[in-house]
């Protein structure tokens, strides 16, 4: 089974500063990678996903993530954060042909400080 | 628009009572899932169903029950056997043969025991 590690449980960052949220997964076999965002008392929304091809993936709200196969990582970045980016961020992994079993990280709480 | 509807958004339960959380989707997805979310613990899988009239236990099924009589509906009952039911509950759906699609989430139900 896969495991997903989000190395930082809480990340405070000043408004307009860059941010990186880290995600590592355990298996080196073919995977699909996802980042979801959760605003307070809401469900999870898809930010972006990597399926194949270019290792740099762009998502909504100015976020992007880079797939690194050798390091089994899929870190999320934004060059300049806004107050509205304050939320919980989840990394997730699935594998083809496994019945779409998802493995979630424990989440990173991003707090943007004005 | 297609999506997942969870109701109610907030639910209060007295100790010893069973309560049922509703989850309805109009996405024509075959698979549906229930997750429990506690602060700092990420998402934990309670039950999932890949097809009508079939469901499987997840990691923390004790004290919960589900049914899947219709493709669109996957209600979760929190029984009196669940000793610590206060949490945020999320329902999700997906297509099992399309791991690249990801999960679609509802907006959640916050259950509080009073």
Burial class (CB in 10 A: 0-12, 13-18, 19+), B110: middle
Residue-level pLDDT at B74: 98
Q: Distance between CA B19 and CA A69 in Å, rounded?
A: 45
Residue-level pLDDT at B100: 78
Count the Cβ atoms, other than its own, within 10 Å of residue A39: 13
Per CB-CB distance under 8 Å, the chain A contacts of B23 are none
A29 touches chain B (CB under 8 A): no
Residue-level pLDDT at A52: 87
Interface touch A100/B90, C-beta < 8 Å: no
B88 touches chain A (CB under 8 A): yes
Per CB-CB distance under 8 Å, the chain B contacts of A34 are 102
Q: For the segment A38-78, what is each residue's pLDDT rounded down to a tens digit?
A: 998 899 999 999 998 889 999 999 999 999 999 999 999 99
Judge contact between A70 and A46, C-beta under 8 A: no
Q: Which of B34, B27, B49, B48 is nearest to B85 (CA)?
A: B34
Count the Cβ atoms, other than its own, within 10 Å of residue B51: 12
Q: Which of A43, A38, A37, A41 is nearest to B10 (CA)?
A: A41
B4 touches chain A (CB under 8 A): yes
Residue-level pLDDT at A94: 87
Interface touch A90/B95, C-beta < 8 Å: no
Pairing of strands B54-57, B64-66: unpaired
pLDDT (tens digit, 0 to 9) for every residue of chain B, 114 residues total?
A: 679 999 999 999 998 899 999 999 999 999 999 999 998 788 999 999 999 999 999 999 999 999 999 999 999 999 988 889 999 999 999 987 777 788 999 999 999 998
Here the tokens at position B97 are: 């043969």
- Give the A:B interface size as CB pairs under 8 Å: 61
Q: For the segment A16-36, what is each residue's pLDDT rounded down to a tens digit?
A: 999 999 999 997 678 899 999
């Amino acid at each position: 089974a896969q495991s997903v590690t989000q190395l930082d449980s809480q990340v405070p960052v000043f408004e307009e500063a860059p941010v990186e949220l880290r995600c590592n997964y355990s298996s080196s076999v073919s995977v699909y990678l996802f980042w979801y965002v959760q605003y307070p008392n809401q469900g999870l929304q898809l930010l972006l996903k990597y399926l194949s091809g270019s290792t740099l993936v762009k998502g909504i709200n100015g976020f992007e993530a880079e797939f690194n196969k050798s390091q089994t990582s899929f870190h999320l970045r934004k060059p300049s954060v806004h107050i509205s980016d304050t939320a919980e961020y989840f990394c997730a992994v699935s594998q083809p042909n496994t019945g779409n079993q998802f493995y979630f990280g424990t989440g990173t709480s991003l707090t943007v400080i004005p | 628009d297609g999506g997942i509807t969870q109701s109610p958004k907030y639910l209060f339960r007295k100790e010893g009572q069973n309560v049922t959380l509703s989850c309805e989707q109009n996405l024509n997805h075959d698979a549906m899932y229930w997750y429990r979310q506690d602060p700092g613990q990420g998402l934990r899988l309670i039950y999932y169903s890949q097809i009508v009239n079939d469901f499987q236990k997840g990691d923390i099924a004790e004290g919960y029950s589900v049914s899947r009589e219709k493709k669109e509906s996957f209600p979760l009952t929190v029984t009196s056997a669940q000793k610590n039911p206060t949490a945020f509950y999320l329902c999700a759906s997906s297509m099992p043969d399309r791991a690249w699609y990801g999960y679609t989430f509802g907006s959640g139900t916050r259950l509080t025991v009073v």
